[in-house]
Amino acid sequence: MTTVSDRDTGIALPGEPAYEAATRVFNLIAPAEPFAAVTARTVEDIRSALRFAAAERLPVRVHTTGHASATARPMPDALLIRTRLAGAVEIDAARRLARVPAGTPWGAVVAAASAHGLTPPHGSSPDVGVVGYLLRGGMSFYSRKVGLAVNSVRAIELVTAGGDLLRVDADTDPELFWALRGGGGGFGVVTAVEIALFPVAKVITGAAFWPAADAPALLRAWRAWTENAPPEVATSARVMNLPALPEVPPVLAAGPVLCVDGVILVETGADVAAAQRDADELLGPLRALADPVLDGWELTGPAGVLESHMDPSDPVAIVGDHMLLGEIGDDGVEELLRVIGAGSGSPLITAGLRQLGGAYAVPDPEGGALTHLDARYAYSGAGVPGGPLTKEAIQEHCARVRAALAPWDTGRTAPTFVESHAQPQGHLDAAQVARADEVRRRVDPEGRFRDDIMRNSTALT
């Protein structure tokens, strides 16, 4: 294997500061350890990197913020391109569109759009990169109202393996546009996306916490409420075992708690009263069953959504699992709490259900490879290894949870929730996989991006 002699390429090797910057990931359980790496800030940086990869016969891998590093296969012989494209978020308020350079986190897009009374279907963290989140589907707290986040993509700019800069949309190379939206990656280096925005005046968002001992009655009541919840409301219910850290209120670190958090969309000022009624219908019965130890739901601006789910802001080692579930009923609630609730011995720092339904389940006829999630709930659970708690112990408990929930497992998954490339994946059927592969063969005939793919481990029929 060659050494890197041409320093003008910006290519860095292990041990060099530029390599450390380009390979930085969020999930520390899965470090990125390529042969070489580069941070690309311009289209020409990408072209230069691709020329180097072609000359040295290196496969190419791509990431932005590194939140999904555990879903990537090992890359010891690859060139890793970290996209940090220069430029600000551009808002076209009249057309309700935003152009977002690759590498931009959601926090920047929310801030730019909010100035115009608009917002995108973003995730729960301000630090997650826009491109990877969208092209893997994207599960937003707004998706029960506006659909899966990937359906908001209106155009994609990318550099192909041959160095061509393309802008694809529904009219320009619609087949590539279809494949890029949920087809699993491996088509080139995305440099920017254009996405649709929607109006928002306010949101009601936050989280309430109860002792985990109250979880059986509370979770049954929450599940019953989800059956007929309005699409403007999206919530999750999680059992959390939070560590005693300065940023964690002592009352939450005293023992396991049940957290109900979420978002109620308020599109216009005239919708505030209706949103408050929705909040009362959700939270009133729960507060009547038991007194929360902490209750932070409030009427606020759209930026508040990025804080309510309490995603970690610093890199951390995470081991977890994910499934899409059908209607679990009270029997499913009982089984879930048996393996994650009080007295279960669960080592998971957080585990529970995200409410789906509504527009999540509606296929978009103009969408790409992934347009909807036909499930009632998304289960996810994660633990943080350290001290006596090992990665293997967390994995064993994840397997226990998976077995308990097997009767309600749809066999499908949401790509942004999958925690590891070794876990079952099922967001495409066999025909969609074949169709996406045909596009890859056309745009990358030498297979330069052949390993940069999030593939179904088993095709659905």
What average pLDDT does this structure show over 348-357?
98
Tokens of 248: 């964690």
**pLDDT of the residue at 196:** 98
Clarify whether residues 103 and 46 are in a common domain: no
Clarify whether residues 191 and 269 are in a common domain: no
Q: How far apart are CA 212 and CA 343, in angstroms?
A: 9
Amino acid type, 416: T
Clarify whether residues 388 and 433 are in a common domain: no
Tell me which of 83, 106, 123 is where a domain ends.
83
Q: How far apart are CA 245 and CA 317, in angstroms?
A: 16
Amino acid type, 83: T
Clarify whether residues 247 and 385 are in a common domain: yes
pLDDT tens by residue, 393-411: 999 999 999 999 999 999 9
Residue the block writes with tokens 């990431």: 63
Residue at 459 is within a domain? no
More confident call, 214 vs 29: 214
Is residue 100's pLDDT more than 80? Answer: yes
Give the CATH number, domain containing residue 213.
3.40.462.20
Clarify whether residues 147 and 73 are in a common domain: no
Alpha helices in 290-405 (DSSP H): 305-308, 329-340, 391-405
**pLDDT of the residue at 223:** 98
Clarify whether residues 321 and 413 are in a common domain: yes
Tell me which of 21, 56, 83 is where a domain ends.
83
Residue at 212 is within a domain? yes
Residue at 453 is within a domain? no
Is residue 215's pLDDT more than 60? Answer: yes
Residue at 226 is within a domain? yes
**pLDDT of the residue at 456:** 54
Clarify whether residues 182 and 264 are in a common domain: no
Clarify whether residues 34 and 150 are in a common domain: no
Residues 6+ apart with CB under 8 A from 25: 31, 32, 63, 66, 67, 69, 315
**pLDDT of the residue at 104:** 97
Tell which residue, 159, 160, 181, 177, has the closest CA to residue 168: 177
What average pLDDT does this structure show over 247-264?
94
pLDDT tens by residue, 104-152: 999 999 999 999 999 999 999 999 999 999 999 999 999 999 999 999 9
Clarify whether residues 75 and 119 are in a common domain: no
Residues 6+ apart with CB under 8 A from 62: 80, 81, 82, 83, 185, 189, 190, 449, 452
pTM score of the predicted model:
0.94
Residue at 461 is within a domain? no
Q: Lowest-confidence range among 7-21, 72-86, 140-154, 428-442?
A: 7-21
Clarify whether residues 283 and 410 are in a common domain: yes
Clarify whether residues 60 and 186 are in a common domain: no
Rg (CA), the chain: 22
Separation in Å, CA 333 to CA 57, 355, 418: 52, 13, 22
Is residue 269's pLDDT more than 90? Answer: yes
More confident call, 313 vs 340: 340
Q: Lowest-confidence range among 128-137, 337-346, 418-427?
A: 418-427
Domain interval for residue 57: 13-83
Residue at 460 is within a domain? no
Clarify whether residues 408 and 373 are in a common domain: yes
pLDDT tens by residue, 42-61: 999 999 999 999 999 999 99
Give the CATH number, domain containing residue 116.
3.30.465.10
Residues 6+ apart with CB under 8 A from 174: 168
Tell me which of 60, 83, 106 is where a domain ends.
83
Q: How far apart are CA 77 and CA 2, in angstroms?
A: 11
What average pLDDT does this structure show over 184-212?
97
**pLDDT of the residue at 7:** 45
Residue at 329 is within a domain? yes
Count of domains for the chain: 3
Give the CATH number, domain containing residue 40.
3.30.43.10
Residue at 94 is within a domain? yes
